[in-house]
């Protein structure tokens, strides 16, 4: 689901900004036990067009137009 991919991209970007996590996207993604696709190896497959678009959406102003439905620490989850 596209919205889920955007949410995961947002989580990664939020973690980069939060002092309790690594400072780079790569280090956040490869942090031990952080993301199942890294653990099961599917992360190394070529990204789909939808996955690329989700990352681009997560870095755009579109995400700020969504309704926040839950906050956990500094992470906001929107629909």
**Are the CB atoms for 27 and 35 separated by under 8 Å?**
no
In the prediction, which pLDDT does 29 show? 94
Instruction: Flag whether pLDDT at 72 surpasses 90.
Output: no
CA separation (Å) from 79 to 22, 36, 39, 62, 63?
Answer: 26, 23, 27, 11, 9
- pLDDT category at 63 given cuts 50, 70, 90 is low
pTM for this model (two decimals) = 0.65
Beta strands 75-78 and 68-72 are antiparallel
pLDDT, tens only, 22-62: 999 999 999 999 998 899 998 889 989 998 888 888 776 76
């Amino acid at each position: 689901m596209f919205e889920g991919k955007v949410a995961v991209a947002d989580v990664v970007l939020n973690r980069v900004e939060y002092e309790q996590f690594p400072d780079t996207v790569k280090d956040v993604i490869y942090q031990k036990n952080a993301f199942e696709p890294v653990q099961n190896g599917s992360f190394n497959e070529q990204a789909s067009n939808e996955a690329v678009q989700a990352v681009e959406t997560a870095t755009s102003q579109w995400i700020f137009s969504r309704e926040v439905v839950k906050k956990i620490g500094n992470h906001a989850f929107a629909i």
